[in-house]
Amino acid sequence: MTNAAWVVQTASPGETQRLGAALAGLLPRGALVALRGDLATGKTCLVAGMAKRLAELDYVHSPTFTLVNQYGEDPALLHVDLYRLGGPDELADLGYAELFDSDNICVVEWAERAESLLPERRLDIFLEHAGHDLRRLTLQNRALLPRGWQEQLESAVLR
């Protein structure tokens, strides 16, 4: 396991989804992925790729109103959206510990709204607009992914 960053640019929603699917194949049980980025930077698109790999789903929607969507099982992909939350206190009231500390894979959109509650061992992904359909994603591994993860993801995105 390494603590390293990797920056990749995707040129389409399909590429972002392929990256998500490849990433899902590297995540261990109990992983937490913290997504950060402005509206329409590809967070839900990345999760859609993960859901395709883990739960064989072709479509996901952002759980803005329900806060949590579950896709598949063993492990389940828990898709959490904190956009409407005012801060970590509101998440504490919802029982975040069961989400963040389980054998499932938990992906949190708008993770900065719960920064103090996130586990140290996680993957942080920062998504940015890079013009037109281009998205720049910076993946910061915090002792979660195995050695060689950057090369594996790069080959998935470039194929």
One DSSP character per residue, 114-139 reads GGGGS-SSEEEEEEEE-STT-EEEEE
Listed as ranges, residues in the chain with pLDDT below 70 are 1-3, 63-64, 158-159
Alpha carbon distance 126, 145 (integer Å):
16
Number of structural domains in the chain:
1
Residues in the chain: 159
Domain that holds residue 96: 5-158
CATH code assigned at 130: 3.40.50.300
Q: Which two tokens mark 94?
A: 């919802």
pLDDT the model gives residue 132: 87
Q: Could you tell me which residues are beta bridge partners of residue 92?
A: none
pLDDT value, residue 142: 95
Confidence at residue 2, expressed as pLDDT on a 0 to 100 scale? 58
Question: Residue 93's pLDDT is what?
Answer: 73
Q: What is the distance between the alpha carbons of residues 88 and 151, in angstroms, rounded to a whole number?
A: 35
Half-sphere exposure of 136 (CA within 13 A, CB side): 6
User: Can you give the pTM of this predicted structure?
Assistant: 0.92
